[in-house]
Structure 1
């Protein structure tokens, strides 16, 4: 009997022989699929299980609860949603439908604004499609075939002819390896729905289960271009199980409760007046105090570390940003220029053109001018400049979001000039410095992200500098990351145009990740600004420049801290640290005396001497999230004591005033971040 031909593949690191044409479904088997295997990774790329595995391939299973599996689940859910929408509105124009963080969306043209009733009907139809168990069947097509099949879908036709160029999320529609369509096939073999798509997808809609929900709708523009067609975008979320969906929905509710914009208004910290414009904030007295405490601490830490303080203007001639390279690469995010220094005649006609001035979007060009203002010696290096720089970026009004995405902000910005040999150690030390500052504010869960340039073809052209420059810079950052002991996540293509960077990613109290501190290696600006220092052998050498920010921006950091603590800031940061409440008006003078003792120790204290009833005063202190509420009545006044009431409602009575003052001052001085540490000891 003639032996059947076989080919070798590598499965989970082990060589295995299979018959040519074996699919992932056959390789893993139905038992594994029932256990959650929904796709496979072939030579590092996610594939559908029904695709034949090529000889020599390295194959790994993808389970539905893995990051790749969740992305595939969510993208499959977009197809089910689009099928449901097209059932309801046959004339709809289909846009794009990518997965996104924690969810998915699909864009639709030629339909009216989405209503809650429409959302409920779409959800109902999606659940029916899921239960039907329609298979996702991949099929390759030519451009000519696509033009025929999708003749009534203008956006899909545009994606075919442009290969998705410039389309937001188009990578999930048109792949670099050719055109593919996915058919949703019923059990009787009939095609229920089709879409131009790169894939991959789940084996069938049944794998989506009931762990999905539609979340919201909004308007959008085709390809994200405001001059393009207006579309309706429907969002959803999908998870491996219904329990995970419920947990996600609870996290969203908690995030809404912690929204810094809501808390900022409730606690009277800051506001965003329409009269000023989008992305610009005003801090009220309490918010300004919070900001002052944060900035003061960060400034003190920089002084301890050995930074030199500088200050630069907020406006500059445009030539400075041409020299730095920012205008060619960054012009879209800088405010349009204004003219200054122009000369006019008596009639008001311009006789001499003025200079173009720009609001600065970054501080580094001006720091370079300070470095270049006199000769520098190797003995001065590393030289570290730092400022709380006020910067402005022309973010689109639809993108700005409270304090976390702004047009005007303050960077705790620093630039270090050092030798190539010093760079590695300096980066290591600065990463440790970043983390120590974040820990000061009670943030403790970190990982690092290493952003490098994209090495593929045309994408590489957006980065400047030689291959050697990038190799040296990337190696220095990678070594520093590895030495930190933290988890390091690669981010290919995420570097700045002038060099790679490391960012400290922080998880907050409810598990969300925020990018905080960054350090960027820059071999470009020292060359552009002709920066040099005199080396030990008398030669003139170029320094390496390291950009770094610890908080990112002060405003954004305040937004993150507000949500992390849900507005209940540690006592050392709280705008009001103590509120004194007399049980009755007869004890107002006693309360004033206690307040003066606290103020003498630098404590921020208020006395509530209003006409409100005692119970309401207590409720107000709780609503305002005051760390320490001190209550005084007749027995307290006679004994020279107060009663402590903490934020969780627990109360300790009869505490001598001296001990109360010392305890509060100690908690503040030690910068206690754990609420348990604010309690009085039992001794």
Structure 2
């Protein structure tokens, strides 16, 4: 038989195969060991079953070591869970079971909802099914047959799903032994390839198709990984994340709270507001001398948002207010600002600007409001009212690259000051829906690509870079800065966005060297992004053990006996005079009780004073998380703590002054 299929392999080699050759047969033709390890194929990047016939294209044999295997493992595990449930509770209907981030879920219709106590029983049966190692096989059924079979089984939800599949799509049925389900696929070769690195996590209620008018189903969430080591690492991260949850720590440290009367907005307590203002003060110092801090109005007429394009693109996420006019009964529609950029353009436009003044950098700690669905709200991480450390740079086209690099250096320096050393910078390119000429997009993306290469070169490999195709803003490409925290989680924070669109829409211009009006480039940039969210990230990164310069309460002076109270007061006053945030604890309680109590609220330093310390003018320093006490003279302790509590940017300036003087 003549070759009818031409396959190109990852190493560039090309082989011919007869029409109808399956992916498994291709793997066997390469090597028996590869065929044994194969779980699927990727044809022109699309995952397919090993049993599928191949067609001309680029072929990869997928094994469990491949990153793409995770999706298959999770998909197959969901099917095995569904089989286990129906074996244990006959009559239970299975509905939808997709793969999600880090795992999967399946929704079930059962007379009595599942409880967490059911999960170990289901897991045990799943392992038995996996041990059977039954092959996954695929059949294509006519629509009438599929409807009838599922109707006869009492699977009303499956019948509804069959009816929802368009006529031009195949109805695929996947078997694993005798059990089968309606599924798009693909699947691995057999249940045995799943392995046992999975765990069922929790149960929850879920409406059919997400509609509250539909019946309530029971959803079982699970996670699945390639190896037990990966599963253990994931469970460890979850346990650490729970211990570090900023909402719990916020309560323990008395920083903030939320309540129903103000959904999605933060009620800051004294200590929380202090740490918030510490962050703002730090950022103000970092911007001093290079940015002008401005403040744009909170409420603006909708006409401005129509001009900017936000009314069309973002209206559903804006808080709107309708009021009667001052002199007529006509109503005007206003909006709470969801971002600061239109206001900053108005400030730039106020007065004629010359090319000699550029770049003009405007910064604002702007309070903005965006409507987020109530189900999406999550402590400080997802709120409706927050503060942006926002800035906009108005510059010439020739200055664009230099400004992006300047912003990059500032962003990386800030992250380093907060202890984040693993940073990824990715360039998000033009989305399908966008505004502006392609020529402007070409120019912006070309400049930013060159900047990205410079960032990577200057970091000597310390900063990882990448491309996010189609993920840019509707008005321009952007850099996204992602941090990795102490337990390996990634947080996208800073952005740098090049914008030709808004200056054009608002008619912003400067007078160039030829005395002609020229449109500036507008660069949007944020470092923390949302100050509230960044604070939440810091709390979780440090597990509440904040560095002394960030901590809202830095020292508690506790006495062992009331006879030492006068000395304790003197110590506290000297520390306050040195600029530290200090409280005292002179209660008639044992010192160990005091230490435990202040440790719960994450006080970083406890200074213990007794009569001996008073006589010798010494102190004992006890650090959060340590049982040890360090004796020091009072003067040494004050000097040491003042140095530790000095913000890193202030220390750098002091060291620079010393070098300059020297």
Cα distance in 1, alignment partners of residues 396 and 649 from structure 2: 39
Please state how far the C-alpha of 1:613 moved relative to its aligned partner: 1.6
Three-state SS of the structure 2 residue aligned to 1:22 is coil
- 1:404-415 equivalences under 5 Å are 404-415=381-392
Please state how far the C-alpha of 1:233 moved relative to its aligned partner: 2.5
Stretches of structure 1 lacking an aligned partner (at least 5 in a row)? 165-173, 345-350, 455-459, 674-683
Pair 1:196-2:161 in alignment: no
- 1:255-654 equivalences under 5 Å are 255-274=241-260, 276-304=261-289, 306-335=290-319, 337-342=320-325, 352-454=329-431, 460=432, 462-485=433-456, 486-649=463-626, 651-654=628-631
Count of residue pairs brought into register by the alignment: 638
Please state how far the C-alpha of 1:480 moved relative to its aligned partner: 2.1
Structure 1 residues 111, 5: closer, same or farther in 2, change over 3 A?
A: same
Aligned residue for 1:235? 221
Q: 1:31 aligns with which of 26, 30, 33?
A: 33
Cα distance in 2, alignment partners of residues 95 and 448 from structure 1: 40
* Residues 427, 449 of structure 2: 8 Å contact kept: yes
Structure 1 residues 433, 158: closer, same or farther in 2, change over 3 A?
A: farther
Please state how far the C-alpha of 1:127 moved relative to its aligned partner: 2.3
Pair 1:51-2:28 in alignment: no
Cα distance in 2, alignment partners of residues 52 and 31 from structure 1: 20
Structure 1 residues 182, 417: closer, same or farther in 2, change over 3 A?
A: farther
Aligned residue for 2:133? 133
Three-state SS of the structure 2 residue aligned to 1:552 is strand
Cα distance in 1, alignment partners of residues 214 and 351 from structure 2: 52
Q: CA RMSD in A?
A: 2.7
* Residues 642, 654 of structure 1: 8 Å contact kept: yes
Cα distance in 2, alignment partners of residues 228 and 526 from structure 1: 48
Aligned residue for 1:17? 15
Structure 1 residues 617, 273: closer, same or farther in 2, change over 3 A?
A: same
Q: Deviations over 1:105-130 (max 9, x none)?
A: 22345755332244344333322322
* Residues 5, 54 of structure 2: 8 Å contact kept: no
Please identify, of 543-552 and 136-145, the stretch whose mean Cα deviation from structure 2 is larger: 136-145
Please state how far the C-alpha of 1:161 moved relative to its aligned partner: 6.3
Structure 1 residues 343, 285: closer, same or farther in 2, change over 3 A?
A: closer
Q: 2:170 aligns with which of 175, 179, 202?
A: 179
Please state how far the C-alpha of 1:590 moved relative to its aligned partner: 0.7
Cα distance in 1, alignment partners of residues 471 and 505 from structure 2: 22
Please state how far the C-alpha of 1:355 moved relative to its aligned partner: 0.7
Aligned residue for 2:655? none
Structure 1 residues 223, 479: closer, same or farther in 2, change over 3 A?
A: farther
* Residues 557, 608 of structure 2: 8 Å contact kept: yes
Cα distance in 2, alignment partners of residues 376 and 576 from structure 1: 46
Cα distance in 1, alignment partners of residues 277 and 405 from structure 2: 29
* Residues 368, 387 of structure 2: 8 Å contact kept: yes
* Residues 221, 228 of structure 1: 8 Å contact kept: yes
Structure 1 residues 670, 34: closer, same or farther in 2, change over 3 A?
A: farther
Please state how far the C-alpha of 1:493 moved relative to its aligned partner: 3.4
Please state how far the C-alpha of 1:649 moved relative to its aligned partner: 2.0
Cα distance in 2, alignment partners of residues 142 and 420 from structure 1: 61
Aligned residue for 2:197? 211
Please identify, of 522-531 and 105-114, the stretch whose mean Cα deviation from structure 2 is larger: 105-114
Please state how far the C-alpha of 1:70 moved relative to its aligned partner: 0.9
Cα distance in 2, alignment partners of residues 495 and 654 from structure 1: 56
Please state how far the C-alpha of 1:672 moved relative to its aligned partner: 10
* Residues 343, 354 of structure 1: 8 Å contact kept: no
Please state how far the C-alpha of 1:62 moved relative to its aligned partner: 2.7
* Residues 174, 183 of structure 2: 8 Å contact kept: no
Please identify, of 206-215 and 59-68, the stretch whose mean Cα deviation from structure 2 is larger: 59-68
- 1:671-682 equivalences under 5 Å are 671=648
* Residues 571, 671 of structure 1: 8 Å contact kept: no
Q: Deviations over 1:155-209 (max 9, x none)?
A: 6666666668xxxxxxxxx9xx9435241232xxxx4212231x32221111111
Pair 1:61-2:61 in alignment: yes
Stretches of structure 2 lacking an aligned partner (at least 5 in a row)? 457-462, 651-662
Cα distance in 1, alignment partners of residues 358 and 149 from structure 2: 66
Please state how far the C-alpha of 1:60 moved relative to its aligned partner: 2.4
Three-state SS of the structure 1 residue aligned to 2:68 is helix
Q: Deviations over 1:272-331 (max 9, x none)?
A: 123x33212111111111111111101111225x11111122222222211111121112
